[in-house]
Structure 1
């Protein structure tokens, strides 16, 4: 048999479970009532520990939240049925919260109620499941972030910094304070595309912050470490060793790269390609490899505007056709306008991808043998 205090602790633990929290707050009538079994004293307890049983019954008689369901139970030690509490039924979220008898949970529920009233239903599941996104923030700023996330669109920054965006009455430090929250909200709207490529790249904003890039020494003797992270601002001021530089959009394909003499690879740059401008690249061979999708071609175009002699690797219609079995839909495109900097075949590929139901072929899904052979062929050409 469980006491009210024991079930109260269980209800508090359930509040900490994101799945239960979401189901009970958003599930409507289908999620309620919630019924918890109290359990019955054994015949032995009725015979040898009757005082404990009486205390148990009295504790449940004092519960005034929800509905305690009683049943007459027969025991050998009693002359007739004894009314015992068997279930605790909670009919709605407010009863659950009151039954928890916890001020922190009460405050969180109150905040979620306000957020549900003032934000788009699209975001309710996120806000309920990921409380860490907003618990430390002022609620009016969370509401403002949700309203902003409904106004922002792909490319809307048009080459300005995030701090220059003036939608929804935000101040210049808003993105700095709320980047994680706004990214999560936008991910909800745009199928996780924003966190995949970065909020600045998605909105078309110039990067003002320091982006960490992954450097890989494909030669094995050019850098002190085979892999190391460097800030983009520091890389801009540095001169990398070697005769070849391979720029790669995503870090996820690092395990697929071959050993290549005199070659450094820079991975994870995405839209942050400003560091290229600081390098003396005229005397070295430059390769660029990104996803075959509209975003990957946007990044390629930006890189080529800086380095005209850049070689695009594995970003052709032929590669797309040969490996289309691994293609997936691109939920949010980079834009319908062709980016400046693409070659004619690349422009044709961009137009094609806009029409393809599965217009994204991600780097890491290309066969490793094909990747290695292509990179080595480029290095030796």
Structure 2
């Protein structure tokens, strides 16, 4: 093995630094007694004989080494070269020395300072707080100073108010809004778990609003034709439609004409299954119309797992074949294979998946759609 020069120390120290950093953060006291021994693999007499100038230069480099750690030297007694002192190992005897050798001294200093601020600011916490701080270090060490200070303040406030019932924007912590929490929610929850033993923020979330189109005004005469309502209030509406049409996209909902005994809802993508708990919807003939792509069929599959009698509209191979020229490549196809599709839906799914195709429902010519809106049921995939 080639003898190790001083300029190779950094890479070896960096590998150790990255592997041990989380453990050091969890136990800073033990970190300062940790050590790394880097073998320098001094040359044998045969190697010295092959290139004595290189061997001498290598030894001189280590004599001049002024970096962190301690260089250990040993005597070598060689027949042709006599007794020589050669460097055999570099010993880095603390996390600080390893970090310095790795070129990460400033980063380690920042980590140590922030670790202390977290433990002091969030403590005493549970026995798992140190582990929570360590496991999240790659996220909090990259925060700007203002965001880091906000993080400490938010977790401390949530720990002190476990069931505030406030909305995020109401928290009396400067700089906190819904976007801040959404960006850092996983980090906040993990640290809160370390402080309090659970991840519940104790705050209220804005309800998911469902857009509704009352396509037969006689079903709800006093309401606007199109309105939005929280899901819980949607379930309480005095509606008894014969048909509930659920659309993947909002544009189609707003374009719908008057339809006898029909209410239309925006399904909100993969949240569509939440509609299955609406009693009047479950009691009606439920029709789902989604995009012709892998995600559209995955959403239909999820909906049908909760409402087995859901039928589909315009999600058939004939529609795919007729209007494939209006499609575009699907940027991120869903890799799962739906299990709850009819034979016709399966054929359409296989087409769009094989061709990496997306035909958004709004792209279908509107006269074609109007001719196939819920009526006698013959237009549905079965």
Q: Larger Rg: 1 or 2?
A: 2
Q: TM-score, normalised by structure 2?
A: 0.49
Q: TM-score, normalised by structure 1?
A: 0.49
